[in-house]
């Protein structure tokens, strides 16, 4: 089918081979090379069409965006043209990013302005949520980790998107990457009728771009800043978690703030990140995408960090009575090593240092709570240790050696704290879900409900989770080499960068799981269900599959 792009045409549908519209007589070949096939959407700004480029081999698909000025007043029409050309230049500059559609052409034809862009095949996030339901916390964090670097890139090009929302984020069918579309060129229109009697400067600035609910107050007041896009990303994340658009959520009648927290089931630390992204006041919001990425990197440590700070207050009081050192705890040297160790962000290193210090302090505090007679052997040993620590010279040579060694490491090592299966089970039964960056020795937790747990970067070689409910669990960057995950429920689990080499995943439910960059070398996926999982063909070729394996496209088969 051919489609007529004349806004006045009453019946735009035409046969595929037609070159002239049978209804209005308009040419169906735009700019002597583009043929529109169907309408993709319409609005006050104009319309968008799926088309093919007749001048290129294979007639590749493209998207044509048509801007329809509402007035032909000469000086206002000229301003619309200049604005259009400026936005086309911007799109041409930022289209070098692999997750931004490329600008292929732009031109003016019969008092209409046209942009031709790369066609991105796939479903947008709004369609994903409607089809599959809301995202888990791990899925929402994965979304932020994918989209924020794109936002950071466009901001580095001095561009504010101004219309980030689920419908403008497409999951590209080819590689499952998110692509940010619709950069506002066709929406940066002037309300020509409203400003017909205004000055030129007023005409160029008297318009607001954005979707109500997704655009923050300062943007709707025509003063967008980079942080305006951060707010829109936060609202989009909220939609993914709840399936509700902003207009379906309640607002505090006194403050005007959105009341969303009762609709989500997420950790307090992740909620705090979202809360700051959604601040109505610009000065209290994250100012850049990098700030959000830093906060997310630190997020797994936040609860321990808060408790660690409380413990440190008590530790400082005790140190004041023990000559500046905690008994049995030579903190200075070890803490410096941790904070200056692996080449991660300063926030992560601080969190790791405080967590390690917290664990050591609790251990030592338990030892101090055991009464010792000053004359007893234990009391004499404690006094000698304390005296040695107070007078022991600080060594810098060992620290330098460790720093040099750590400088070659890009991923922080898990803490040396070791937990057994009983420790994990006991903690989980008491409400604990965060087991990140731990050494989980000989872990055996078959046929248990561990949904929503966090095992980020933990070491779990040969762990036994057979038949367990691990839905929405965060295994990001964890080591599950040779683990037994047979018949486990890993639906929507976060397994990005996870080592699953030689793991037994026979019969496992991996629907909608995030396996981006996971190591599947030798993993047994026979009979596993990978429907809609985020995993590449190259990854699956390294694993073992059979006729019973359900592939991401829903078909059974082998690679």
Which sequence positions are flagged as catalytic?
Answer: 163
Q: In angstroms, rounded to a whole number, what is the distance separating the alpha carbons of residues 441 and 456?
A: 15
Q: State the pairing for strand pair 46-53/34-43.
A: antiparallel
Q: In angstroms, rounded to a whole number, what is the distance separating the alpha carbons of residues 165 and 214?
A: 7
Burial of 374 from C-beta contacts in 10 A (0-12 / 13-18 / 19+): exposed
| Residue 20: both structure tokens together | 């002239």
The single residue listed with the structure tokens 């031109």 is 107
Give the bridge partners for 489, in sequence order. Answer: 469, 509
What would the 3-class secondary structure string for 170-184 be? Answer: EEECCCCCEEECCCC
State the sign of the Cα–Cα–Cα–Cα dihedral 95, 97, 100, 104: positive
Other beta carbons within 10 angstroms of residue 399's beta carbon come to 17
Is 180:169 a contact under the CB 8 Å cutoff? yes
Instruction: Output the CA–CA distances (angstroms, integers) from residue 170 to 182, 229, 326, in the order listed.
Output: 11, 17, 55
Is 87:187 a contact under the CB 8 Å cutoff? no
Q: In angstroms, rounded to a whole number, what is the distance separating the alpha carbons of residues 29 and 352?
A: 62
Q: In angstroms, rounded to a whole number, what is the distance separating the alpha carbons of residues 93 and 385?
A: 65
Other beta carbons within 10 angstroms of residue 256's beta carbon come to 9
| Residue 193: both structure tokens together | 């009728």
HSE-CB at 218 with a 13 A cutoff on CA atoms is: 18
Contacting residues for 159 by C-beta, under 8 A, at least 6 apart: 90, 94, 183
Burial of 210 from C-beta contacts in 10 A (0-12 / 13-18 / 19+): buried
Q: In angstroms, rounded to a whole number, what is the distance separating the alpha carbons of residues 356 and 364?
A: 12
The 3-state DSSP class for residue 24 equals coil
| Residue 251: both structure tokens together | 């607002």
The single residue listed with the structure tokens 């705890």 is 329
Q: In angstroms, rounded to a whole number, what is the distance separating the alpha carbons of residues 240 and 150?
A: 18
Q: What is the DSSP string of 266-333?
A: --HHHHHHHHHHT-SSGGGS--SHHHHHHHHHHGGGHHHHHHHHHHHHHHHHHHTTTTTSBTTB-HHH
How long, in residues, is the chain? 559
Ramachandran class of 508: left when φ > 0, alpha when ψ lies in -120 to 50, beta otherwise? beta
Burial of 250 from C-beta contacts in 10 A (0-12 / 13-18 / 19+): exposed
């Amino acid at each position: 089918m051919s489609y007529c792009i004349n806004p006045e045409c009453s019946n735009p549908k035409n046969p595929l081979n037609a070159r002239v519209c049978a209804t209005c007589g308009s040419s169906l070949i735009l700019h002597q090379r583009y043929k529109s096939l169907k309408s993709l959407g319409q609005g006050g700004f104009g319309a968008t069409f799926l088309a093919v480029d007749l001048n290129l081999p294979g007639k590749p698909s493209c998207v044509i965006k048509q801007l329809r000025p509402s007035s032909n007043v000469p000086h206002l029409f000229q301003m619309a043209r200049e604005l259009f050309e400026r936005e086309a230049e911007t799109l041409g500059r930022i289209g070098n990013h692999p997750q931004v559609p490329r600008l292929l052409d732009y031109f003016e034809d019969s008092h209409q302005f046209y942009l031709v862009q790369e066609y991105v095949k796939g479903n947008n996030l709004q369609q994903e949520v409607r089809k599959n339901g809301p995202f888990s916390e791990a899925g929402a964090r994965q979304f932020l980790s994918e989209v924020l670097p794109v936002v950071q890139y466009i901001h580095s090009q001095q561009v504010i998107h101004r219309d980030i929302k689920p419908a403008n984020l497409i999951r590209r069918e080819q590689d499952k990457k998110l692509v940010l579309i619709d950069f506002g060129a066709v929406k940066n229109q002037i309300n020509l009728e409203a400003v017909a009697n205004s000055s030129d400067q007023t005409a160029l600035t008297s318009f607001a771009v954005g979707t109500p609910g997704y655009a923050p107050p300062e943007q709707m007041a025509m003063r967008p800043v980079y942080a305006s896009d951060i707010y829109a990303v936060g609202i989009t994340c909220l939609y993914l978690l709840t399936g509700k658009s902003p207009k379906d959520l309640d607002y505090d009648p006194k403050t005007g703030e959105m009341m969303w927290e009762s609709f989500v089931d997420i950790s307090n630390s992740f909620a705090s990140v979202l809360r700051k992204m959604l601040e109505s006041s610009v000065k209290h919001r994250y100012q850049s995408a990098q700030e959000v990425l830093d906060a997310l990197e630190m997020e797994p440590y936040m609860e321990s960090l808060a408790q660690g700070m409380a413990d440190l207050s008590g530790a400082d009081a005790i140190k004041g009575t023990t000559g500046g050192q905690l008994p049995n705890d030579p903190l200075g040297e070890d803490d410096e090593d941790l904070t200056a160790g692996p080449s991660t962000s300063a926030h992560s290193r601080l969190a790791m240092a405080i967590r390690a210090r917290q664990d050591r302090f609790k251990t030592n505090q338990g030892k101090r709570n055991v009464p010792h007679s000053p004359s007893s052997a234990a009391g004499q040993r404690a006094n000698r240790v304390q005296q040695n620590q107070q007078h022991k010279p600080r060594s810098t040579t060992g620290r330098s050696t460790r720093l040099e060694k750590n400088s070659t490491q890009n991923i922080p090592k898990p803490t040396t704290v070791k937990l057994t299966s009983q420790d994990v089970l006991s903690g989980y039964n008491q409400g604990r879900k965060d087991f990140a960056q731990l050494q989980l020795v000989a872990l055996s937790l078959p046929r248990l409900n561990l949904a929503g747990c966090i095992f980020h970067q933990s070491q779990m070689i040969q762990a036994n989770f057979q038949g367990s409910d691990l839905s929405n669990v965060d295994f990001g960057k964890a080591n599950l080499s040779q683990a037994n995950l047979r018949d486990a429920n890993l639906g929507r689990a976060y397994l990005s960068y996870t080592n699953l080499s030689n793991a037994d995943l026979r019969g496992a439910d991996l629907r909608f799981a995030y396996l981006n960059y996971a190591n599947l070398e030798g993993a047994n996926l026979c009979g596993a269900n990978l429907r809609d999982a985020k995993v590449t063909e190259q990854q699956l070729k390294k694993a073992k599959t059979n006729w019973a394996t359900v592939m991401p496209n829903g078909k059974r088969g082998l690679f």
